Structure 1
Amino acid sequence: MLTVDALAKRLESYLEPDNIRRIRRAYFYAEQAHEGQMRRSGERYITHPLAVANILCEMHMDHQSLMAAMLHDVIEDTAVSKEALAEQFGPGVAELVDGVSKLTHLEFETKKEEQAENFQKMVLAMSKDIRVILVKLADRLHNMRTLGAMPPEKKRRKARETLDIYAPIALRLGINDLRIELENLAFESLYPLRAQRIATAIKKSRGNRKELVGQIRQALAERLSAEGVDVQVIGREKHLFSIYNKMKDQKKTLQEILDVYGFRIITQSVDACYRTLGVVHNFYKPVPNRFKDYIAIPKANGYQSLHTTLIGMNGVPIEIQIRTQEMEDMANHGIAAHWLYKNEDSSDSSPTHARARRWVKGLLEMQERAGNPVEFIENVKIDLFPDEIYVFTPKGKILEVPKGATAVDFAYAVHTDIGNACVGCLVNRQIAPLSQPLNSGDTIKIITAPGARPNPAWLNFVITAKARSNIRHFLKNLKKQDSIELGRKLLNNSLRNFDTELEALSDASIQSLLQEYQQSKLDELLEDIGLGNRVAYVVARRLLNDCADTSEASTDKAMTVSGTEGMLVTYAKCCRPIPGDPIVGLISKGKGMVIHTEQCRNIVDIRKDPDRCMHLRWDKSMEGEFVVDLRVEMRNSRGVLAGVANAVSQADANIESIEMQDRDATTSRLNLTVSVTSRQHLARVIRRLHGLPAVGSIERVQG
């Protein structure tokens, strides 16, 4: 069993005696605080903090992290306060413990929301000190190792949470050893039968594998030695979860995956890595398109290595990773590998720290933009599973984006303002659709325009969390602004019926109404009106209750529609109104106003309801394109469709869709959707169509 003395002995290899004494003090303090508390497994509670500190010791973490590991549950599970810890062990350790603490258990509607809220708070703590997440990961790893005592339902939930959030974070920070163990333990808890079968199969095939691995290792080592390259060759075992994932994703059998042999070659320098690559490529034939150079372009988490696949003796596929010892430490311990070379006062100078900081900064930005914790955690999950590709800005700067990313994702990766103002893109100097997935090596130039705004349709194809959360945030704010503007317009229109307007009313009458409606700002009331949650006419009457006679007010003044009302005013698809049509506005709760033609059959029942329906008129300067459905009866003849298309084009209109139905042997019906700017424009289109000899009747379809 692990003891504090055994841990202290291990720490002597890299920590000062003074710092080891501080860690011991933290242990005895925690032991006292947790006195009488037991784990579900029946062990004393203090065994858990001690085990967490031991995991961090394997990662060679600094003394403050180990002290925080000893004390990480003290604030939450005992009567000790953060202030008391700060007094005893200094503010640095107290802040770390506070960040790691699983935070107060608030009352949440769902377990999912609780998980999301806790994660959100952890991100805030990480932004102050990245070590918080390292202690948290070690805490999770020990909890996963001792999951056996938990009830099955809780086991599965913890395993799912580990695979969704904690293992990908470990991957993001490059802590490979910890990630592999987390994934395997979670896999065994989530799918015990599958894990057992794969483990049995690996054991069974290990006998003959061992011999072959030994032979290949020997052959590689001898060849490299003969070429004068000083290296260490290690056989690589695939772990359970990665085997399972490969079977699932690549649709391969277990045997096909086990037939690939992995080796790692550790060299003295970067130069030796490339020399080694040349030697192994001469020794065994390389598989085309399977070479990756992560030394020249490191992965987002700082991982560096050369990867290649070769066909070895007897046609056996061999996967080889070539790297220096420093890269090997980096690959296994990631960001933790740097704590050793960093004294407490130095700044985070390593590129890995800079990357981790950038990632956490991105998380913070996402958190500010997200509507609620659950939306935030969904965005983070997208962000945690990237398979990177590397693309270039026009000036040659390299940017990492996830596989499948589009130009819009790229624009937001460069800067939020560029994403928001993006209108088009050039990929490798050719105009390309914004939705086209990018490939490694592409050079992307984003075309922006002042006053441009994100398109809601982008949400259908963007894949990065940053792009998604920024678009949603912009549209949310835009909808709010639009609803306030529409609310102001609707309220002013109703007030004009009483020969006044909003600006002419006293502050006192507005404030008393806001108090009555329990709202703090006029904008909130206007937003409610714009969204259709309150009726403008009723609000106008309440406002004027004290200062005007509202009984004889006229209600026939129509509001003007100018086409600049934004997202909250939409045109009904059933009757397709166009400028010049007599129109009415239908207020829909939470959605704003939908404009229908006066004759539309769908609003017959609501026409007389002044709370939901209001008279509208078109602004004289109204501009824009409107879609109209036409039904054309015509005789069958050669080239008739070309004639129709030509006639519509000559009237300066566009065909949006066209569908032809045969009525009998001689006649057909054409259902045509065209875009026009007004009724006069539509009349011009119809005149042109009537000019065709084959056309009989033309009817505008409404409702």
Structure 2
Amino acid sequence: MQIDLEKEKKEIDEAFKGLMKSATYSKKDAATKKRIKKAFEVAYDAHKDIRRKSGEPYIYHPIAVARICAEEIGLGATSIICALLHDTVEDTELTIEDVRNLFGDKEAQIIEGLTKISGVVDATVSLQAENFKKILLTLAEDVRVILIKLADRLHNMRTIGSMRRDKQLKIASETLFLYAPLAHRLGLHSIKSELEDLSLKCQEPEMFHEIESKLKKSQEVRTRFINHFSLPIRKTLEEKGFEFEMKGRPKSIYSIWNKMNKKGIPFEEVYDLFAVRIIIDSKPENEKSDCWQVYSIVTDFYQPNIERLRDWISAPKANGYESLHTTVMSPTGKWVEVQIRTKRMDEIAEMGFAAHWKYKEGSVESQYDKWIKQIRELIENNDANALDLVDDFKLDLFSDEIYVYTPEGEMKNLPIGASALDFAFAVHSEIGAHCIGAKVNNKLVPLSIALKSGDQVEILTSKNQKPKEDWLNFVKTHRAKSKIKSSLKEEKRELAIIGKAMLEKEFKRLDISHQNISLKELKKHFKAPSSLDLYFKIATEEIKLNQLRDFEVKHGSLRFKRTIPNRLKNYFERKKAPKTEKKEEILVIGDNMEKLDYSLANCCNPIPGDEVFGFITVAEGIKIHKVSCPNAVQLMSNYAYRVIKARWIEKDKMDFLTGLKIIGIDNVGIVNNITQVVSNELHVNMRSIKFESYDGIFEGTIMVFVQNTLHLENLIKNLKKVEGVTKIERIDN
């Protein structure tokens, strides 16, 4: 196809003009405009020969990322310049030094933070996890790195349709696993919701479109309901002289899907599809009292549910979110969530971090400042595996919060489920490390006890106390986990030094020259992953030194002696090892679509017809998972390099185990009717059947062997015809 380069250049120039118009938070002076124009020209020149998967010129991507930064996050000129240049160092001849010379140190530092990891990476570690660790390191210096990275990810998700299906799934999984929680933690509510929705659209397209369609169909009914509900509140607010905006806020498709999944309910049973938001124009000194006055007006008309009152004005969330939430009973008998906030609070809720800086007063330390200070503390001297860092850090990203107090009345924010030990580490790492007990509301409690909002906690310490490994079983915060792991590693290193000295002493006694020999066989025999683990096991006497008599030095390596007893032992161990039966080849796997051996994952029990992927395990070969498997997001985001393509090639005679949950009215003979449909009509083999009845309702589980999803759908269709059956759903395990 012939490309009209002149027309294309005009369209690119128009896109850049659109970016400049949207940069409302940037300075408008000539020098700033000139710098942004220069960044555009450098990026255009660097990317001029590159096109995206969709076929459009690559420069559209940096322009779009810069526009998201300017329009949707509210960032200024420096961020726009960096967004335009964010892929130049990674994908073109431009270097960090070139950026520094052209634009300055700050821009070079941000671009360096945005440039992905290059060069050789340890094959056992997730590239994405390493990338995330690097982002965290830069985030402690300049938060704009992660804001631009989020804008980059958002545009990639908006244009993901042109990518291969397996790539789409990996990117969507990373987005759900890392980027959506980060957007949430930075207060970027609309970006977080869109990232989640786009990920769901990619992973579960049918479910996404079904919910989207049902939301559109019920929109008119919702609008009428909101107008009727809002009318008396609007009238009173106007009489009281409030300047306000009142609107219905629909729940995101992802959060509706999440609720349906967690509660096992259909769309029709999700009642909180929207919330009513009241945004008032209020002076800073009157914000709190004005919001409570509006709350009073709302509850004059509608009965509130006291248990659902959330006051995030008196105690804002860690991401800076401030709002007053209440749930009230409407005249139609439906619960409705009402959110009350000021214009300032609404801007911070929608645009997060950038809006926070706009409203920051004096030198008051905000929630953001505290969070970034916390990140700085966590990654200082942190030699943890990148995956551990991501997993632990992620715990702090999405958790709802509780508010607990020191004996002096100082408030600490902790995630829900945090223990007294988490509180100890939140006060100070040394207090956590030497903690022996805690008093909650003046009562002595175990360290593992989960705290509740409003608890007052006193920590008891001893200088002889050291962190213990079992502490990791109940602490929730990244700070506590990181400090405990660091302390345990240090203790392990110290013991390993002693173990190494003990081993060398034993070598000397056995007259084995140990200076230049390999310990590979020794580590393999004693199942020690590393030399450090081997020395540690010796120091703790898990490995007895007298066992070294069974080894000898051969060709520079320490090997098991080939004595007759040892040979017999090895022979019988090999004989005992179970022979693996080769499975029937019905899947094609990998880029070349080869027929390989595999096993089906127990966590989701896929059957032919399901959309699946392969995962290369360390010890069990290729495991096949459903794309909708509960573990899919974590596997694809953390171990993308071990995920391979897989798909069913044809209908096969082999049967697969799956389960059905059946609910209905307990009529006489209903169980017999169900089993007849399964056994007689469709010739499906049953593995097990279990039914329970209570108060006229029955609930049953049938485990059956089917050939594929079509076979299963036919079975479900026929079972639904049985009188009394009201609901059937597939269960995976």
Q: Work out which of the residue numbers 402, 412, 421 in structure 1 matches 2:415.
A: 402
Letter in 2 for 1:220: I
Q: Work out which of the residue numbers 7, 32, 47 in structure 1 matches 2:19.
A: 7
How much is the aligned-residue C-alpha RMSD, in angstroms?
3.1
**1:673 alignment counterpart:** none
1:56, CA displacement in angstroms?
A: 0.9
Partner Cα distance (2:504, 2:24) in 1:
75
TM-score by length of 1: 0.69
Decide whether the 8 Å contact of 1:390 with 1:400 is kept in 2: yes
Percent of residue pairs bearing the same amino acid type: 36
Give CA-to-partner distance per residue, 1:486-526, whole Å, 9 cap, x none.
4445656887999xxxxxxxxxxx9x97567799xxxxxxx
**1:429 alignment counterpart:** 442
Decide whether the 8 Å contact of 2:246 with 2:279 is kept in 1: yes
Change (3 A) 1:364 1:13: closer
Give CA-to-partner distance per residue, 1:185-210, whole Å, 9 cap, x none.
11111111111111111112112111
Q: Does 1:115 align with 2:87?
A: no
SS in 2 for 1:289: helix
Q: Does 1:99 align with 2:99?
A: no
Q: Does 1:217 align with 2:230?
A: yes
Change (3 A) 1:437 1:62: same
Change (3 A) 1:12 1:361: closer
1:83, CA displacement in angstroms?
A: 0.8
Decide whether the 8 Å contact of 1:487 with 1:531 is kept in 2: no
Q: Work out which of the residue numbers 318, 322, 338 in structure 2 matches 1:304.
A: 322
Q: Work out which of the residue numbers 466, 476, 480 in structure 2 matches 1:453.
A: 466
Q: Does 1:481 align with 2:494?
A: yes
Q: Does 1:87 align with 2:59?
A: no
**2:181 alignment counterpart:** 168
Q: Work out which of the residue numbers 373, 377, 388 in structure 2 matches 1:358.
A: 373
Partner Cα distance (1:43, 1:319) in 2:
44
Letter in 1 for 2:300: N
1:329, CA displacement in angstroms?
A: 0.5
Decide whether the 8 Å contact of 2:291 with 2:341 is kept in 1: yes
1:216, CA displacement in angstroms?
A: 1.3
1:455, CA displacement in angstroms?
A: 1.8
Change (3 A) 1:278 1:78: same
Letter in 2 for 1:126: L
Q: Work out which of the residue numbers 374, 381, 402 in structure 2 matches 1:389.
A: 402
Letter in 2 for 1:335: F
SS in 2 for 1:286: coil
Partner Cα distance (1:31, 1:19) in 2:
18
1:480, CA displacement in angstroms?
A: 2.0
Decide whether the 8 Å contact of 1:270 with 1:324 is kept in 2: no
1:145, CA displacement in angstroms?
A: 0.5
**2:81 alignment counterpart:** 67
Q: Work out which of the residue numbers 342, 350, 355 in structure 2 matches 1:337.
A: 355
SS in 2 for 1:128: coil
**1:569 alignment counterpart:** 541
Change (3 A) 1:119 1:105: farther
Partner Cα distance (2:536, 2:371) in 1:
48
Partner Cα distance (2:182, 2:388) in 1:
18
Give CA-to-partner distance per residue, 1:160-217, whole Å, 9 cap, x none.
1001100100110111121111111111111111111111111121121111111112
**Structure 1 range deviating more: 470-479 or 61-70:** 470-479
SS in 1 for 2:170: helix
| Structure 1 spans left out of the alignment, 5+ residues | 499-509, 520-526, 537-564, 572-583, 590-604, 607-703
Partner Cα distance (1:363, 1:95) in 2:
21
SS in 2 for 1:9: helix
1:288, CA displacement in angstroms?
A: 2.4
Aligned residues: 525
**1:611 alignment counterpart:** none
**2:693 alignment counterpart:** none
**1:628 alignment counterpart:** none
SS in 2 for 1:404: coil
Letter in 1 for 2:297: V
Partner Cα distance (1:108, 1:477) in 2:
23
Partner Cα distance (2:367, 2:157) in 1:
27
Change (3 A) 1:166 1:494: closer
1:419, CA displacement in angstroms?
A: 1.4
Give CA-to-partner distance per residue, 1:1-26, whole Å, 9 cap, x none.
65112222333675223212211110
**1:276 alignment counterpart:** 294
Letter in 2 for 1:128: E
Equivalent residue runs for 1:497-576 within 5 Å: 514=515, 532=534, 568-569=540-541
Decide whether the 8 Å contact of 1:293 with 1:307 is kept in 2: yes
Q: Work out which of the residue numbers 191, 196, 203 in structure 2 matches 1:190.
A: 203
| Structure 2 spans left out of the alignment, 5+ residues | 1-10, 521-528, 550-564, 567-733
1:383, CA displacement in angstroms?
A: 2.4
Q: Work out which of the residue numbers 191, 216, 220 in structure 2 matches 1:207.
A: 220
1:530, CA displacement in angstroms?
A: 8.8
Letter in 1 for 2:541: V
1:332, CA displacement in angstroms?
A: 0.5
Change (3 A) 1:454 1:144: same
Partner Cα distance (1:276, 1:3) in 2:
43
Decide whether the 8 Å contact of 2:318 with 2:368 is kept in 1: no
Decide whether the 8 Å contact of 1:393 with 1:443 is kept in 2: yes
Partner Cα distance (1:56, 1:530) in 2:
47
TM-score by length of 2: 0.67
**1:57 alignment counterpart:** 70
Decide whether the 8 Å contact of 1:217 with 1:235 is kept in 2: no
**1:16 alignment counterpart:** 28
Partner Cα distance (1:489, 1:354) in 2:
49
1:151, CA displacement in angstroms?
A: 0.4
1:353, CA displacement in angstroms?
A: 3.7
Letter in 1 for 2:18: A
Partner Cα distance (2:546, 2:279) in 1:
72
**2:275 alignment counterpart:** 262
Q: Work out which of the residue numbers 276, 283, 286 in structure 1 matches 2:304.
A: 286
Partner Cα distance (1:474, 1:177) in 2:
40
Decide whether the 8 Å contact of 1:180 with 1:239 is kept in 2: yes
1:90, CA displacement in angstroms?
A: 1.2
- The structure that has the greater radius of gyration is 1
Partner Cα distance (1:465, 1:530) in 2:
25
Give CA-to-partner distance per residue, 1:357-398, whole Å, 9 cap, x none.
134325424x7041x222222222222221211111111111
SS in 2 for 1:36: coil
Partner Cα distance (1:57, 1:309) in 2:
35
Give CA-to-partner distance per residue, 1:391-450, whole Å, 9 cap, x none.
111111111111111111111122221111111111111011111111111111111111
